[in-house]
């Protein structure tokens, strides 16, 4: 894929993320008379906050990828400086690492837990 095509894909993803806004009602804390209603609202709030976190993290990754395009470093692994495969970039256009380095990072993060 061409860099311009990837830039268009990343721009579209950023716009998609920006358009998915959750309302304050989604995370508001309300007291209700029924315990089960309160438990359900709590669960809904946790899901909404998880969704916000994932959108924020993805938005940051997409923004970083767009910066790498501008710096002409897009498609190069930040860890080993080797090219990231076109297949990986097609599947995950904001990938920062080649699959080998990503696997190592994932194992490292799993060990820290």
Question: Higher pLDDT residue, 100 or 40?
Answer: 100
Share of the chain above pLDDT 90, in %: 58
- Chain centre distance of CA 93: 11
pLDDT tens-digit profile of 11-20?
999 999 888 7
Share of the chain above pLDDT 70, in %: 88
Please tell me the predicted confidence (pLDDT) of residue 24: 59
Contacts of 74 (CB under 8 A, 6+ apart): 3, 6, 65, 68
Q: Give the class (CATH, top level) of 3-112.
A: mainly alpha
Please tell me the predicted confidence (pLDDT) of residue 41: 78
- Please state, in angstroms and rounded to a whole number, the distance separating the CA atoms of residues 43 and 57: 21
pLDDT tens-digit profile of 23-49?
556 555 666 667 787 777 778 888 888
Q: What share of the chain is helix, strand, coil (3-state, %, to 5)?
A: 70, 0, 30
Instruction: Calculate mean pLDDT across residues 83-94.
Output: 96
Please tell me the predicted confidence (pLDDT) of residue 18: 85
Tell me which residue of 112, 76, 69, 66 sits closest to 97, measured CA to CA: 76
């Amino acid at each position: 894929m061409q860099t311009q095509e990837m830039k268009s894909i990343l721009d579209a993803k950023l716009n998609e993320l920006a358009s998915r806004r959750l309302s304050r009602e989604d995370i508001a804390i309300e007291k209700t008379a029924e315990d089960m209603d309160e438990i359900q609202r709590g669960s809904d709030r946790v899901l909404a906050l998880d969704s916000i976190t994932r959108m924020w993290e993805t938005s940051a990754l997409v923004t970083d990828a767009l910066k790498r395009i501008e710096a002409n470093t897009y498609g190069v692994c930040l860890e080993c400086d080797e090219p990231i495969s076109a297949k990986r970039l097609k599947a995950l256009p904001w990938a920062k690492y080649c699959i080998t380095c990503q696997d190592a990072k994932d194992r490292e993060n799993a060990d820290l837990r």
